[in-house]
Amino acid sequence: MEIFVTGGAGFIGGHLAESFANGGHDVTVLDNYEPYYDLGIKEHNAEIARDAAGDSGGSYEIIEGSVTNADLVDDLTENVDYIYHQAAQAGVRTSVEEPAKVNEYNVTGTVNILEAARKNDVDRVVYASSSSVYGKPEYLPYDEDHPNEPVSPYGVSKLSGEHYTRVYNEVYGLPTVALRYFTVYGPRMRPNMAISNFVSRCMCGEPPQVYGDGEQTRDFTYIADVVDANRALLTDDSADGEVMNIGSTDNIDIATLAEVVRDEIDPSLDIEYTEAREGDAEHTHADISKANELIGYEPTRDIREGVRDFIDWYEANRDWYEALVVDS
């Protein structure tokens, strides 16, 4: 199959591109190489996916460009079967500082993808949404019927993209699925995330640093589980027109997470607390029963297992990864 992955040199997109290429598919990646973090990580993602294609007999091509370029997107999707739309301006705090930029990438870019998919009769568009669409919890865990009151421009942009995917499904008959990711982590993750920060600091003999009081909770989702959910949509059309939570069902407060990481690496270290950051949701926790029912989604790791796996990967890849994390 011909698969188009936007943001395919990023963390989640890179893992998807690698998995599809490893499966013998023909993969085209579009990424604008936004310097949100050290681009060496994106270059590494592209290299791994390219090698996977070489080993499997599939193909891999990466094109530098933006989803905001409607003509480019249209050209690249002419012969595509599936689109996995991962491209976005990431970062809640970045969105607070630059809301117009986030809107351009995350909303206008999404409309460009959907319109190109409609014109070119693409079989399915899978849209990467976020738990940030929920905002203030009225109850936990969040199910997909929970009210949406995002507390950041990033959350607003992701919710807008969801509505566009729904409308393109209802009005134009374009098969679309929106996946609400809950704090994804794992090998080659972005360096500015809590787990990568905690691990890198502890590995360097520095105490993990918690923003705020550490009582905020997160549902952390291992990257392999996210890949499995996306891969299911290559063959399963039962979720077309739907939005689904992709989480772990296992949430943890940030202070305890810091302790878990610290205890795995160097129990002698203290925990440092610093000023809370604007725009962060207080709590996330996923009800994944809908994804389980529609596509058989089942997470494979709880947070402690996933942290151990990530630390093992970090130690094995420390030579190249740590330099990029520390510099970011």
Eight-class DSSP state of 67 = T
What sign for the dihedral angle of Cα 51, 54, 56, 60? positive
Burial of 147 (0-12, 13-18, 19+ CB in 10 A): exposed
Q: Please name the helix (run of DSSP H) or strand (run of DSSP E) that holds residue 3, with its range, or none.
A: strand 2-6
Nearest to 187 by CA among 317, 85, 303: 317
> What are 103's two structure tokens?
């809107």
Residue 84 has φ and ψ, to the nearest 5°, of -110, 105
Rounded Cα–Cα distance for residues 194 and 267 (Å): 18
Rounded Cα–Cα distance for residues 153 and 229 (Å): 26
Is beta strand 59-64 parallel, antiparallel or unpaired with respect to 243-246? Answer: unpaired
Question: Do you find a cis peptide bond into 141, omega within 30 degrees of 0?
Answer: yes
Nearest to 282 by CA among 100, 149, 88: 149
Specify whether 84 is catalytic: no
Rounded Cα–Cα distance for residues 287 and 185 (Å): 18
Per the CB < 8 A criterion, the answer to whether 307 and 163 are in contact is no
Ordered DSSP codes for 205-254: T---EEETTS--EEE-EEHHHHHHHHHHTTT--TTTT-EEEE--S-EEEH
Residues comprising the chain, all counted:
328
In three-state secondary structure terms, 184 is: strand
Residue tagged active-site, from 154, 168, 181, 185: 154
Enzyme catalytic residues: 154
